[in-house]
Structure 1
Amino acid sequence: MSDAAVSGDRRLRVDLDVDLVDDSGCPIVTEATEAAGVAVNAVGEECVVDVTTPDGDVRRGTGEVSEDCLCHAFSRLGYAPHFRRVEDGTILVTAYVDDRDAVRRLVEELREVVDRVRLVRLAVVEGPDATEQVTFDLSALTPKQRRGLELAVVRGYFDDDRDVRLSDLADELGISKSALSQRLRTAQAKLVTDVFDGVEG
């Protein structure tokens, strides 16, 4: 999928699992470790969050807005976060971005302010009804496969004009070049199989 393919009415939907730092004080996670929905209203220096628990209760929490806030990381790049749920303190957040480079910048920006961020799903959406054309569900991958694939995407390994080598990525992960190559091949095969299974189904 080239960046040129994501243009006009086409955008990328990116789903990320985000773990905040323990002392962040973010009301998204301080109100409940499990949430079926999250509504955030950050105005000025105060953030008000309504968290809907899985049993339907709505809990309101407040927090102080700072440069290290999760919402600020999105707004600095001009993207609106859509908080979908919270499970065991991990936030699933969706954003709609312009291209793969935007995904890379967003992940790097988030890593500056959160404890951990993982790419869960990437989809191309098209048209006024935002119909998903191609979806990559990363949940079928092992943690090692996901980490390897995520690093390769973020560092631009799959870009046409890439300037990163497989050996550089392997060094960053602390594994051999051949081990990383195998992980990437296996991960890509799983994703392609999943996409075509979805098309046939």
Structure 2
Amino acid sequence: MSDAAGADGDRRLRVDLDVDPTGDSGCPIVSEADEAAEVAVNAVGDECVVDVTTPDGEVVRGTGEVDEDCLCHAFGRLGCAPHFRRVEDGTILVTAYVDDRAAVRGLVDELRGVVDRVRLVRLAVVEGPNATEQVTFDLSALTPKQRRGLELAVVRGYFDDDRDVRLRDLAEELGISKSALSQRLRTAQAKLVTDVFDDAER
């Protein structure tokens, strides 16, 4: 059974995070390629072996030394199994399954101690033996530009695991710079996630 649900098929949360490792981390996930469509990690003992599949299909193998500041250890300290999805411009998209929102906060806090930056991209409720996912956000807090950028990203499949659209493609479609769109999406995501946590605490 997947770690998306417990033994009794109980409810869990799927959390997708964008993680920027520190420049001196030596993490082989990002040291081998700035872009990766697929990442396979095998950390055993003191050595980490990573197979990175680049967008053009080339598989690059990298190795690194495992220490307490490694991403895998940060997840492991909280009992989470990280699933590294892809890398874009040196940023790693990683998924984990946790029991509740408090565990999400704990995970983000733990990661902040070992990486340059961590951003919550998606939070989904996963429940039942078939691991059905649901997530609900209130878009009313977003500005029209933020909403348009976010809606375009969703429609074009930018947040999908198997996406084939890039941030620069979306930015060109909107007629803005890649950095402007990146900032717009980060701000929109931050607003939505804050609303989710605020609702949970009421």
Length-normalised TM-score, structure 1 = 0.69
1:159-178 to structure 2, matched below 5 A, reads: 159-160=200-201
Aligned partners of 2:72, 2:194: CA distance in 1, in Å? 23
Equivalent residue for 1:98?
99
Asked if 1:146 corresponds to 2:199, the answer is no
Equivalent residue for 2:124?
123
* 139-148 or 36-45, larger mean C-alpha shift: 139-148
Identity of aligned pairs, percent? 74
Aligned partners of 1:118, 1:133: CA distance in 2, in Å? 20
Letter in 2 for 1:90: T
Equivalent residue for 1:63?
64
Task: Give SS of 1:115's match.
Answer: strand
Alignment gaps of 5+ in structure 1: 1-5, 162-201
Aligned partners of 1:146, 1:134: CA distance in 2, in Å? 13
Aligned partners of 1:131, 1:21: CA distance in 2, in Å? 34
Alpha-carbon contact 1:52-1:59 (below 8 Å) kept: yes
Task: Give SS of 1:9's match.
Answer: coil
Aligned partners of 1:54, 1:157: CA distance in 2, in Å? 38
How many Å apart are 1:57 and its aligned residue? 1.0
How many Å apart are 1:9 and its aligned residue? 1.6
Alpha-carbon contact 1:122-1:135 (below 8 Å) kept: no
Length-normalised TM-score, structure 2 = 0.69
Alignment gaps of 5+ in structure 2: 1-5, 140-146, 151-183
Equivalent residue for 1:132?
133
Task: Give SS of 1:66's match.
Answer: coil
Aligned partners of 2:185, 2:46: CA distance in 1, in Å? 40
Aligned partners of 1:135, 1:152: CA distance in 2, in Å? 10
Aligned partners of 1:20, 1:26: CA distance in 2, in Å? 7
Equivalent residue for 2:74?
73
Equivalent residue for 1:54?
55
Count of equivalent residues:
154
Aligned partners of 1:157, 1:134: CA distance in 2, in Å? 15
